[in-house]
């Protein structure tokens, strides 16, 4: 499995370029991606036809798909400083979420990430967990009956975010903030990106301006008090030299964090609900573990101890990685498996593809949480076979937060409800830009 991965500019001009996809394949992929249908199949077809790397033209840009764990390691670890995360993410969401941590590169990124890390340390996570538990309890209180899982989780995670991220209690202020936030997320995915009154994109820009103003007004108080919410922690955070984040940085990071947190967590909870509804034996195992703990709420210390829940979460993120693909721009020419990739190319690695490679995850379409159990540990056979949280310098900063929130919600849910989908139901998954069900996942919750 040792791909010959080389990088650097020496004599690289003599190396042949990666194969180019045929126009037929490019057109088919374009349609599938535009319609957001089946990204996984188109990636699998490209991999079968061209091997571990293929290039195609999209307008003025060379797009390069690299496949497999070795490619993931090369691109995500980026040991040679070849790739920009800022450039592709700026093109995708930069107008609405500029200067979020993922939209920064190099030394500046490293510096800011180090300071932000303060707000993600164990003591901070412990206090977030304490704060979210009663909110989860109140939020799921009336979930009995038929409902759309995705929309329900969205409301729940947004309400939790308002409290934990910003420190505001539920009320009109939260509702306004959540509405604005939804506008921004919708705008970041708009196809028509013109600031014209009445268009989705303009609503997103206005939303951003509102939220930026709102955070700016809160900042003096947040810098001064000892609040436990994320905004207060970011406002006070400093590195060992005493450097702090400037006001504008705190605002940009906050807005990005709320986006990075809520869609991904909603996506994961929805997919997990689907798989547990289809596999009642696993739902019962998770429930038995939750009752065996003997606590209505998961304490932070319990999060990693819930073994069955951990297996189920990992398998869910394998089958439905919320971010199905991760983009970079190559800053220099580099060589991958004896082929040249030109500077300026948009290089894409695909968790959704690697997670379904049978040589790494046998019977990849089977929901089989035991594959993550220590005896099998399929994900540990390569450092970059299981990458729902990315890797390297941009490795998800919020992964422990996400794990805490997902598990805390599921712990309370299985103790209160048994849930099911209609017999024979298959969730229609829209894999891109974030994995989610096209029908919201209709599910029935029965009170225990
Ligand atoms: C299951 C939930 C989540 C998944 C699957 C996920 C996935 C990812 C992935 C794949 C990346 C790397 C993207 C890239 O390299 O281009 C990333 C980065 C990031 N995530 Fe998450 N994420 C999740 C939840 C969260 C939460 C809850 C937060 C915040 C509380 C968060 C904050 C971030 C930040 C700040 C970055 C950028 C890190 C950097 O550039 O240094 N994420 N996430």
Euclidean distance between CA atoms 295 and 411, whole angstroms: 9
- Cα–Cα distances (Å) from 253 to 97, 104, 182, 212, 234, in that order, read 9, 11, 17, 11, 9
Atom of ligand 1 nearest to the CA of 253: 35
State residue 34's pLDDT score.
58
Q: Decide if pLDDT at 295 tops 50.
A: yes
User: Which of 106-115, 161-170, 180-189 has the largest mean confidence?
Assistant: 106-115
Q: Select from 87, 86, 25, 88 the least CA-distant residue to 54.
A: 25
Q: Which of 72, 90, 260 to mutate to test the pocket of ligand 1 (most atoms within 8 A of CB)?
A: 260
Euclidean distance between CA atoms 309 and 369, whole angstroms: 9
Which parts of 4-105 fold into alpha helices (H)? Answer: 23-34, 39-50, 69-77, 86-93
Measured by CA distance, the residue closest to atom 21 of ligand 1 is: 396
Q: Decide if pLDDT at 259 tops 50.
A: yes
Centroid of ligand 1 to alpha carbon of 62 (angstroms)? 26
90 lines ligand 1 (CB under 6 A): no
pLDDT digit string (tens) for 226-249? 899 999 999 999 888 889 999 999
When pLDDT is cut at 50, 70 and 90, the band that residue 1 belongs to is very low
pLDDT digit string (tens) for 146-175? 999 999 999 899 889 888 999 887 677 777
Q: Decide if pLDDT at 9 tops 70.
A: no
Between 336 and 172, the higher pLDDT residue? 336
Q: Decide if pLDDT at 5 tops 50.
A: no
Q: Decide if pLDDT at 6 tops 60.
A: no
266 lines ligand 1 (CB under 6 A): no
394 lines ligand 1 (CB under 6 A): yes
The sign of the torsion formed by the CA atoms of 188, 190, 191, 196 equals negative
Q: Decide if pLDDT at 334 tops 70.
A: yes
State residue 3's pLDDT score.
40
Residues in the chain: 448
The proportion of the chain whose per-residue pLDDT surpasses 70, expressed as a percent, equals 94
Measured by CA distance, the residue closest to atom 27 of ligand 1 is: 261
When pLDDT is cut at 50, 70 and 90, the band that residue 36 belongs to is low
First to last CA, the chain: 49
pLDDT digit string (tens) for 352-393? 999 999 999 999 999 999 999 999 999 999 999 999 999 999
Centroid of ligand 1 to alpha carbon of 294 (angstroms)? 32
When pLDDT is cut at 50, 70 and 90, the band that residue 433 belongs to is confident
CATH fold label, 5-447: Cytochrome p450 (1.10.630)
3-state helix, strand, coil in the chain (%, to 5): 55, 10, 35
Centroid of ligand 1 to alpha carbon of 114 (angstroms)? 15
Region class of 377: left (phi > 0), else alpha (psi between -120 and 50), else beta: left
Atom of ligand 1 nearest to the CA of 321: 5
Centroid of ligand 1 to alpha carbon of 320 (angstroms)? 15
Centroid of ligand 1 to alpha carbon of 391 (angstroms)? 10
Centroid of ligand 1 to alpha carbon of 435 (angstroms)? 14
Centroid of ligand 1 to alpha carbon of 179 (angstroms)? 22
State residue 22's pLDDT score.
78
Matching residue, tokens 């509702």: 175
255 lines ligand 1 (CB under 6 A): no
Q: Decide if pLDDT at 320 tops 50.
A: yes
Q: Select from 41, 43, 15 the least CA-distant residue to 349.
A: 43
Centroid of ligand 1 to alpha carbon of 448 (angstroms)? 34
Q: What average pLDDT does the segment 40-62 reach?
A: 91
Q: What average pLDDT does the segment 51-67 reach?
A: 92
Euclidean distance between CA atoms 132 and 143, whole angstroms: 17
Lowest mean pLDDT among 27-36, 248-257, 323-332: 27-36
* 0.85 exceeded by pTM: yes
Contact (Cβ atoms closer than 8 angstroms) between residue 215 and residue 249:
no
Domain residue spans in the chain? Answer: 5-447
pLDDT digit string (tens) for 187-234? 877 776 777 777 888 988 999 999 999 999 999 999 998 899 999 999
């Amino acid at each position: 499995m040792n791909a010959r991965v080389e990088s650097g500019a020496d004599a690289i001009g003599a190396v042949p370029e990666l194969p180019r996809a045929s126009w037929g394949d490019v057109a088919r992929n374009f349609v599938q991606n535009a319609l957001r249908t089946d990204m996984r199949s188109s990636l699998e077809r490209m991999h079968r036809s061209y091997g571990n790397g293929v290039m195609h033209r999209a307008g003025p840009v060379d797009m390069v798909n690299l496949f497999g764990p070795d490619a993931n390691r090369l691109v995500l670890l980026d040991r040679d400083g070849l790739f920009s995360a800022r450039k592709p993410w700026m093109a995708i969401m930069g107008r609405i979420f500029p200067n979020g941590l993922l939209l920064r590169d190099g030394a500046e990124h490293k510096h800011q990430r180090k300071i932000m890390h303060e707000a993600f340390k164990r003591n901070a996570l412990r206090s977030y967990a304490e704060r979210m538990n009663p909110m989860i309890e109140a939020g799921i209180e009336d979930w009995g009956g038929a409902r759309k899982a995705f929309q329900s989780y969205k409301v729940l995670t947004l309400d939790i975010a308002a409290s934990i991220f910003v420190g505001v209690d539920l009320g009109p202020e939260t509702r306004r903030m959540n509405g604005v936030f939804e506008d921004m997320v919708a705008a970041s995915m708009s196809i028509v990106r013109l600031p014209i009154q009445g268009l989705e994109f303009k609503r997103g820009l206005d939303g951003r301006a509102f939220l930026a103003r709102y955070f700016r007004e809160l900042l003096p108080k947040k810098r001064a008090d000892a609040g436990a919410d994320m905004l207060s922690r970011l406002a006070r955070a400093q590195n060992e030299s005493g450097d702090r984040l400037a006001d504008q940085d705190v605002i940009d990071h906050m807005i990005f964090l709320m986006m990075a947190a809520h869609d991904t967590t909603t996506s994961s909870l929805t997919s997990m609900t689907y798989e547990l509804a289809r596999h009642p034996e696993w739902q019962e195992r998770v429930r038995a573990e939750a009752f065996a703990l003997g606590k209505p709420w998961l304490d932070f210390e319990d999060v990693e101890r819930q073994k069955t829940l951990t297996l189920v979460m990992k398998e869910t993120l394998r089958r439905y990685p919320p971010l199905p693909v991760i983009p970079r721009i190559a800053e220099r020419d580099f060589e991958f498996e004896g082929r040249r990739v030109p500077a300026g190319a948009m290089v894409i690695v695909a968790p959704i593809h690697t997670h379904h490679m049978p040589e790494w995850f046998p019977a990849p379409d089977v929901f089989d949480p035991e594959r993550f159990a220590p005896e099998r540990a399929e994900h540990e056979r390569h450092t970059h076979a299981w990458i729902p949280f990315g890797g390297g310098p941009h490795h998800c900063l919020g992964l422990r937060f996400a794990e805490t929130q997902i598990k805390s919600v599921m712990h309370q849910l299985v103790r209160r409800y048994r849930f099911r989908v209609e017999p024979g139901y298959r969730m229609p998954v829209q894999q891109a830009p974030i994995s989610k069900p096209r029908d919201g996942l209709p599910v029935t919750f029965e009170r225990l």
